[in-house]
Amino acid sequence: MTNFSGMEQIIEITYLIATALFILSLKWLSSPATARRGVFAGELGMLLAIAGTLLHHGIVEYKWIVMALVLGTIIGVPLGEVAMTAVPQRTALSHAFGALCVTLVGTAEFYLRTPDVPRFMMGVLSLEVILGSLTFTGSLMAAGKLQEVLPQRPITYKGQNIVNLGLLGVAIVVASMLVAHPEKTQLFPLIVGIPLLFGVMMIIPIGGADMPTVISLLNSYAGLSAAAMGFVLDSKLLIIAGALDGASGFILSVNMSKAMNRSFSNVLFGAFGQEQTAAAAKQEARPVRSATPEEAAAILAAANKVVIVPGYGMAVAQAQHKVRELYDALTKRGVDVKFGIHPVAGRMPGHMNVLLAEADIPYDKLLDMDEINGDFPQTDVALVIGANDVTNPAARTDASSPIYGMPILDVDKARTVMVIKRSMAAGFAGIDNPLYYLDKTLMLFGDAKSFVGSIVREVGGGHE
């Protein structure tokens, strides 16, 4: 069978231990209590695997490797230090880096091995390079949109889907030709270049609201391309890490699509927010009730149960620390305060939880949609801060609404609803929200941060 030298056995064993540590790492992430241990396990596994690899007898030159490791660390540290609001674009950027690594290694492997590349090997190599390239440019585009250096609005044109699918189709045809004739090296640049273009074209029609799904999907592609690289290099460790990452991205994308009531194909092939501007314009002049910070504070202080529903608008206004002060002030008065978090609140899965945890709000008060929805009928006040579409009851009741069927937070079932909002302008999806016209709804017009600040002063000021 295989003829391992002593050193190679040691290397294989470090890979085996690293694999076990990676799986444990994800297992420990299941609860906040053990999660940091999970990170440590992951780091240890990574360190072992890299150390093992450096012992590889085939390595003849270390100069470049060491330089690259140092340079990578220098780039990596600031990427680990970004603000919590910038985590989505950082994540997109790191998907791009991962995909870049995979694509470059795949490309080099092809030119080193050609012309005698076995059929199967050429197949997975093509998969690796195609997925890697499209994830690279796709993730860069996503990061650009999230960082707002690129326009967030979807850009659409007639026949877009046909062009995109056509591009992907051509890449697959070229890949099949390479599988049949791996010696035709002149074809190889096409299976890098076309997917690079496809990655850009794929993200152009996608709007900001769909970013959580897109990031998850790109996460999944990055994982799968790494697994394909594992097949090419015959590395079990890489196959497993890639499969774990792919599975994780896949689960998150399914979650996100469900939360937005969309299918994958709908996210990728349908630009949202186009047709319904007309419908929204119709209902401008309906009356709403508004309230001052003093009135809002009095109602909140008299409540027993309050559920705060934060949306990305809260983070944009940098209001999370004021919200924490409100939480403290109300809790001190004996009010039971919880947070209802919609899966797509924020710009990536789980983003809102991180933003609130950063403001020192205890994580056991952060409840996801399914956990909190049963509580609303017993809730005195639902306070909506910077969220819109995820509280829109039309999703339950109005079959003609573009968000009909989307799971929402049932804030309209609370006894009183308060909504902090700058103006009556429609939300991300451009859809009017009937919640605002209910008799039990009070609109609190103003900037989220200063409005919450005023409420806190009122609540905190009222000593007895």
Positions marked catalytic: 389
Candidate residues 175, 179, 227, 381; the one interacting with another protein per rule CB under 8 A: 227
Backbone φ and ψ for 308, nearest 5 degrees, come out as -95, 130
33 or 149, CB closer to another protein? 33
Candidate residues 242, 273, 430, 446; the one interacting with another protein per rule CB under 8 A: 242
β-pairing, 336-341 vs 366-368, is parallel
Is residue 133 a contact partner of residue 195, using CB atoms and an 8 Å limit? yes
35 or 281, CB closer to another protein? 35
Residue position matching structure tokens 């994830």: 135
Q: Number of residues interacting with another protein: please give it, by CB under 8 A.
A: 113
Q: How far apart are CA 448 and CA 387, in angstroms?
A: 11
For the packed helices 6-28 and 236-259, what is the interaxial angle rounded to 10 degrees? Answer: 20
Query: Interface with another protein includes 229 (CB under 8 A)?
Result: yes
Query: Interface with another protein includes 192 (CB under 8 A)?
Result: no
Query: Interface with another protein includes 222 (CB under 8 A)?
Result: yes
How near is the Cβ of 208 to another protein at its closest, in Å? 17
Candidate residues 4, 7, 20, 76; the one interacting with another protein per rule CB under 8 A: 76
Pairs from 184-192 (Cβ < 8 Å, separation ≥ 24) = 185/110, 185/111, 185/114, 185/115, 188/107, 188/110, 188/111, 188/114, 191/126, 191/129, 191/130, 191/133, 192/103, 192/107, 192/129, 192/133
370 or 439, CB closer to another protein? 370
How near is the Cβ of 438 to another protein at its closest, in Å? 28
Q: Which of residues 371-430 bind another protein (CB under 8 A)?
A: none
Q: Which of residues 37-66 bind another protein (CB under 8 A)?
A: 38-39, 42-43, 45-46, 49-50, 53-54, 56, 58-62, 64-65
Site string for another protein, 245-284 (x = CB under 8 A): xxxxx-xx--x-----------------------------
* CA 309 to the chain's CA centroid: 19
How near is the Cβ of 59 to another protein at its closest, in Å? 3
Residue type, 189: P
Q: In what order do the strands lie in the sheet with 336-341?
A: 366-368, 336-341, 305-310, 381-385, 416-421, 441-445
Q: Beta strands of 345-409 (E only): which ranges?
A: 366-368, 381-385
Pick the piece of the chain touching another protein (CB under 8 A) from 71-79, 180-188, 189-197, 427-435. Answer: 71-79
How near is the Cβ of 289 to another protein at its closest, in Å? 34
Q: Which of residues 80-99 bind another protein (CB under 8 A)?
A: 80-82, 84, 87, 90-91, 94-95, 97-98
Candidate residues 8, 12, 16, 26; the one interacting with another protein per rule CB under 8 A: 26
